[in-house]
Amino acid sequence: MAVKWLPRWFFQLASPRWCYQITGMLIPWFAVVSITLVVLGTIWGLAFAPADYQQGNSFRIIYLHVPAAILAQSFYMLMALAGAIGLIWKMKVADMVAKSVAPIGASLAVLALLTGAIWGKPTWGSWWVWDARLTSMLVLLFLYLGVIALNSAIESETTAGQATAVLSLVGLVNIPIIKYSVEWWNTLHQPASFKLTEKPAMPPEMWVPLLVMVIGFYTLFGLALMLRLRNEILQRERRASWVRDLLSVKA
């Protein structure tokens, strides 16, 4: 195999057992860091950041909306990437990561959509506007739902993993095309309306808490991913002796 250039830890990742152990060690750290960051970011954003001169205090929704939207997109990328690794190197753990990411990513897309809609009410005066960003997020949610539906429709775990990997890769190629076409369609239909999040140069008092929230969200949902992944590992490796030992010791 011509994969000698890859570092060793990459192949260690392939071992479900190693992965289970390492996530077990990482989880407490992630929990502390993520909760600190998210609590800090939320309080900062809600109480200390200045209000927007146009949108007033409804602007504070940005500290939730933007991190959710960013994560929903990057988790889709992670899912497709993990799926590709699973396909190419037949790496079981990558398959499990891809499967565990999907519901988390979908819930983030839902959060981004809901907060976008709620933010839209005071800003645009209606709950839903066919804004380019909201529309692409809706399509992203559909892509997530497709992946989840396909995964649950196929009985064999291996086949399900491979099939969803192909689908998520196809989706990944399509995301930029969909984004571009939706943006273009949007400008065609509603010329330059008031955008939700595009602001010319936010002052640091506004974007620093946003940055804190984004990082906090990455760690927080990384934590959620690890929790899910561990369940997936246990379930799929139930036959392995290390799982059996683990279970009988933990009694």
Partner 1 sequence: MAFESFADFLNMGGHGLYVWLCYGLGLLIVVANLLLPMQQSKQVIRELRRRLRREEGSA
Partner 2 sequence: MSTELLSARSLFCERDDRILFEGLDLTLNTGEILQIEGRNGSGKTTLLRILSGLSSHFEGELYWQGEVMGEVQEAYLADLVYIGHLPGVSGQLTAEENLRWHCALHPSLDIEKIDYAIGQVGLRGFEDLPAYQLSAGQKRRIALARLYMSEAKLWILDEPFTAIDKVGVAAKEALMLKHLSCGGSVILTTHQDMSDHMPVRTLSLGEPQEIGDE
Partner 3 sequence: MSNQQTSFAKLFVHTFKRDLVLAFRRKSELVNPLIFFLIVVTLFPIGVSPEPQFLAELAPGLLWVAALLSTLLSMESLFKADFDDGSLEQLLLSPQPLFMVVLAKVSAHWLMSGLALTLVAPVLAVMLFLPAEGMPGLMLSLLLGTPTLSLIGAIGAALTVGLRRGGVLISLLVLPLYIPVLIFGSSAVQAAITGLPLGGYFALLGALLALALALAPLATGAALRISVSG
Q: Determine if 248 is a binding residue for partner 2 (CB under 8 A).
A: no
Alpha-helical (H) ranges within the chain are 8-13, 16-43, 62-89, 92-124, 132-153, 157-189, 204-236, 241-249
Q: Provide the 10 A C-beta neighbour count for residue 48.
A: 9
Tokens 């209000």 found at: 51
Q: Determine if 165 is a binding residue for partner 1 (CB under 8 A).
A: no
With contacts defined by CB under 8 A, name the span among 2-10, 134-142, 154-162, 184-192 that binds partner 2: 154-162
Q: Provide the 10 A C-beta neighbour count for residue 153.
A: 10
Q: Are the C-beta atoms of 20 and 234 separated by less than 8 Å?
A: yes
Q: Nearer to partner 3 by C-beta: 9 or 130? A: 130
Q: Determine if 102 is a binding residue for partner 1 (CB under 8 A).
A: no
Rounded Cα gap, residues 12 and 251, in angstroms:
28
CA geometry: angle at 34 spanning 28 and 36, to 5°?
105
Q: Determine if 19 is a binding residue for partner 1 (CB under 8 A).
A: no
Q: Determine if 178 is a binding residue for partner 3 (CB under 8 A).
A: yes
Q: How far is the CB of 83 from partner 2 (least distance, A)?
A: 16
Residue 239 contact partner, candidates partner 3, partner 1, partner 2, none, CB within 5 to 8 A by sort of partner:
partner 2
Question: By rule CB under 8 A, what string of x and - marks binding of each residue 116-145 to partner 3?
Answer: -----------------------x--xx-x
Q: Determine if 19 is a binding residue for partner 3 (CB under 8 A).
A: no
Q: Determine if 158 is a binding residue for partner 3 (CB under 8 A).
A: yes
- Closest-CA residue to 66 (of 144, 17, 2, 133): 133
With contacts defined by CB under 8 A, name the span among 34-42, 91-99, 101-109, 168-176 that binds partner 3: 168-176
Residue 114 contact partner, candidates partner 3, partner 1, partner 2, none, CB within 5 to 8 A by sort of partner:
partner 1
Question: Is residue 184 packed enough to be buried (19+ CB in 10 Å), middle (13-18) or exposed (0-12)?
Answer: exposed
The packing angle between helices 92-124 and 157-189, to 10°, is: 30
Q: Determine if 115 is a binding residue for partner 1 (CB under 8 A).
A: yes
Residues in 32-91 that interact with partner 3 by CB under 8 A: 87
Residues in contact with partner 3 by the rule CB under 8 A: 87, 139, 142-143, 145-146, 149-150, 153-154, 156, 158-159, 162-163, 166-167, 169-171, 173-174, 177-178, 180-182, 184-185, 188
